[in-house]
Structure 1
Amino acid sequence: MKFGKGLKIMIALIAILLLIDLFAGNYFYNLAIKREQKTFLQGNDDLEVSAAAMDVFTKGGWRDWVASQDFDEWQLQTFDDLTLQGYYLPAKKDTNKTVIFGHGYLGEATDMGLYAQYYYEELGYNIFLFDMRGHGKSEGDYFGFGWHDRLDVLDWTDRVIDQVGDNAEIVLHGLSMGAGTMLMASGEDLPPQVQAVVADSGYTNVYDLFQYQMNRMYNLPAFPILPTTSMVANIRADYSFFEASALDQVKKAEVPILYFHGRDDTFVPFKMANKLYKQTNSYAEIYLYDDAGHGEAYAIHKEKYQTKLSDFLTKFIE
């Protein structure tokens, strides 16, 4: 009799814990993945921008440059029937060289104008920017952290080839979540026109990223909340944190990859970039920059970044 009562209490406690875990999984899904305003990042010290970088981000003149360009607006229908928005700018002189940009979490296409201006004005590339699913003018009620977005990149790449021609030479350049996207795309069957990938401030996989941030922001262990959140994401957004892995993809990559990362990045630690670099199957280079936080390397070390970028691209693009 006593054993039966104890068993019932134990089952009730387990049921309560499972309900709490499921509630937490849904909470963190809504917090990080559902498309809505994200107030939890406000006041986050890991995303505090240095004065030097902020000056470039706000006063560099590149936003005026973007606003003054006459982009062609493109749309893409995705494999899961979303409509994405893109912006194409042909180079001043006819060229087969094109860069496709991927922006960061909560950003939009035009955020990559800081980099696009250099490709356009100095390297003479055609420019293509797009709002990733769930961002900007693109449809989607969740953030994919690169996994579904990698397939969108393949479709956008085909669209660029249609525009430029079969002799197109294409660079995939991503920042933060955009870097994760381009790295995840690198392991796919890319068309031969894709000649190089540039990944700035990328992460190994979504599980590692969230595990690191849960511990840093909330002092919470990954288990059991994060596996449950991944299960919720699989149900609501059709991807799990385990499969969304840039690390697994670069192990299959055949395209050359250039990694940039700031040593002072506490939002996505530079150790992730080192791990990605060491596991990359294809030719790869990595450059780590002192005094640079998340996504700040270009703003703070502009000339060094541009030199490394240009030298890398000239190895693989005529």
Structure 2
Amino acid sequence: MKKKNIIISIIVGVLLVMFVGLAYIGNYFFNYALVRQEGIITEANIDPNAPQSVETYAEVVNKEKSKEDVSKWLEEVKTEETTILSEDGLNLWGKLYFQEEKTDKWVIIAHGYTSSHEDIQPIALNFYNKGYNVLTPDMRAHGNSEGKYIGMGWLDRIDMLRWIDYIVSLDSNSQVVLYGESMGGATVMMTSGEDLPSNVKAIIEDCGYTSVQEMFEAELYNRFGLPPFPILNAAEIVTDIRAKYNFEEASALEQVKKSTTPMLFTHGGNDTYVPTEMVYRLYEAANCEKDILVIDGADHGAAPDVDPETYYEKVFSFLNKYVN
């Protein structure tokens, strides 16, 4: 009997140690990946384990020209800052860029992970030059918006519905395009599976991922050479408790299957951060009117910079079919 009690005590002790260890791992991953990062994201404090790309000369030149064009544009364009309240009570911030003459053409542009509205201003300028009013929100837990936990597109899809309603409240005849890059791309794809107003005419996603689960699996392997089990399993439990969502339900792949909104899928052919193969599965899964563009030689988020002429020609020729 005494020996049996000792064995039971050892087993309980081992299980307790395992439980504590998994809880620590889950919280560590959650804090590392999903808790708001304070301060400005710069080259000096980017995660050294993140995949680094080598920019081509053309890409560098195009980026520098975009910065100059944006700087000049911001001196001239009429802008307005605004806020809305999220479903869970957060103040979400956005910036509006208005055309000089009235138009019903609108685009909402969603930025990427640990980014902000400023980083997608070159895209905003391209839409503005095509006659669109532009809204660039800071996603929850980013920039000027409130929030402690990053939504990875899943929580943000509900926020996007609020932003759409906001635009419709400004202009009941609005023709709204949703555009997103990286996590923003996942956001607009996840939004596509919701019940959208008829004002939403088309969606453009760039380098978005299939699901949060697969995104983190790829990250664990590419950055650290680690398998998903048990790290992601532990992290998902923590995320479910603290942020109120789980990785598997946060699926752009499942959402685009329900979409009825025309969608253009774009990606860089050399993307290893969000593997290029994901865009083909997303495209195949979508049941809406759709098209696809993969820019050869482009890394993550670089498609508009590597070949801007091809990229934007495709984007606006696609949109012209649905936006008057």
Give the structure-1-normalised TM-score.
Answer: 0.94
Q: Distance in 1 between matches of 2:297 and 2:135?
A: 30
1:134 equivalenced with 2:135 (yes/no): no
Deviations 1:62-90 (A, max 9, x none): 43045323311111011111001111122
Shift of residue 283, structure 1, vs aligned partner: 1.2
Write out aligned runs for 1:161-200 (5 A): 161-165=168-172, 167-200=173-206
Q: Distance in 2 between matches of 1:44 and 1:66?
A: 35
Q: Distance in 2 between matches of 1:163 and 1:106?
A: 29
Amino acid at match of 2:205: A
- 2:271–2:299: 8 Å Cα contact kept in structure 1? yes
Q: Distance in 1 between matches of 2:161 and 2:231?
A: 33
Shift of residue 117, structure 1, vs aligned partner: 0.9
Amino acid at match of 2:138: D
Q: Distance in 2 between matches of 1:274 and 1:313?
A: 20
Q: Which one of 161, 164, 177 corresponds to residue 154 of structure 1?
A: 161
1:99 equivalenced with 2:107 (yes/no): yes
How many residue pairs align between the two structures? 316
SS of the counterpart of 1:181? Answer: helix
Amino acid at match of 1:288: V
Q: Distance in 2 between matches of 1:65 and 1:199?
A: 27
Q: Distance in 2 between matches of 1:45 and 1:30?
A: 17
| Distance 1:211-1:113 versus aligned 2 partners, 3 A rule | same
The aligned residue for residue 80 of structure 1 is 88
Amino acid at match of 1:20: G
Amino acid at match of 1:195: K
Q: Distance in 2 between matches of 1:256 and 1:120?
A: 21
Q: Which one of 186, 208, 215 corresponds to residue 214 of structure 2?
A: 208
The aligned residue for residue 145 of structure 1 is 152
SS of the counterpart of 1:196? Answer: strand
- 1:65–1:117: 8 Å Cα contact kept in structure 2? no
Shift of residue 58, structure 1, vs aligned partner: 4.2
The aligned residue for residue 255 of structure 2 is 249
- 1:92–1:124: 8 Å Cα contact kept in structure 2? no
The aligned residue for residue 313 of structure 2 is 307
Q: Distance in 1 between matches of 2:322 and 2:259?
A: 15
Shift of residue 93, structure 1, vs aligned partner: 2.6
Structure 1's consecutive aligned runs of 4 or more residues displaced over 6 angstroms after TM superposition are none
1:112 equivalenced with 2:120 (yes/no): yes
The aligned residue for residue 5 of structure 1 is 6
The aligned residue for residue 239 of structure 1 is 245
Shift of residue 59, structure 1, vs aligned partner: 4.5
Q: Distance in 1 between matches of 2:49 and 2:72?
A: 30
Write out aligned runs for 1:58-77 (5 A): 58-60=64-66, 61-65=68-72, 67-68=74-75, 69-77=77-85
SS of the counterpart of 2:93? Answer: strand
SS of the counterpart of 1:71? Answer: strand
Deviations 1:87-135 (A, max 9, x none): 11222332111000000111111211111111111x1111111100011
Q: Distance in 2 between matches of 1:263 and 1:21?
A: 37
Give the structure-2-normalised TM-score.
Answer: 0.93
1:33 equivalenced with 2:34 (yes/no): yes
- Aligned Cα root-mean-square deviation (Å): 1.7
Q: Distance in 2 between matches of 1:96 and 1:18?
A: 56
The aligned residue for residue 24 of structure 2 is 23
Q: Distance in 1 between matches of 2:113 and 2:134?
A: 21
1:317 equivalenced with 2:323 (yes/no): yes
Q: Which one of 230, 233, 244 corresponds to residue 224 of structure 1?
A: 230
Shift of residue 215, structure 1, vs aligned partner: 1.3
1:50 equivalenced with 2:55 (yes/no): yes
| Distance 1:212-1:125 versus aligned 2 partners, 3 A rule | same
- 2:50–2:223: 8 Å Cα contact kept in structure 1? no
Q: Distance in 2 between matches of 1:295 and 1:283?
A: 24
SS of the counterpart of 1:42? Answer: coil
The aligned residue for residue 298 of structure 2 is 292
Q: Distance in 2 between matches of 1:220 and 1:188?
A: 34
Bigger shift: residues 251-260 or 213-222:
213-222
SS of the counterpart of 2:176? Answer: strand
Q: Which one of 78, 82, 90 corresponds to residue 98 of structure 2?
A: 90
Deviations 1:267-295 (A, max 9, x none): 00011111111101111111111110000
Q: Distance in 2 between matches of 1:12 and 1:40?
A: 40
- 1:264–1:294: 8 Å Cα contact kept in structure 2? yes
In structure 2, list runs of 5 or more residues that go unmatched.
none
In structure 1, list runs of 5 or more residues that go unmatched.
none
SS of the counterpart of 2:320? Answer: helix
- 1:147–1:244: 8 Å Cα contact kept in structure 2? yes
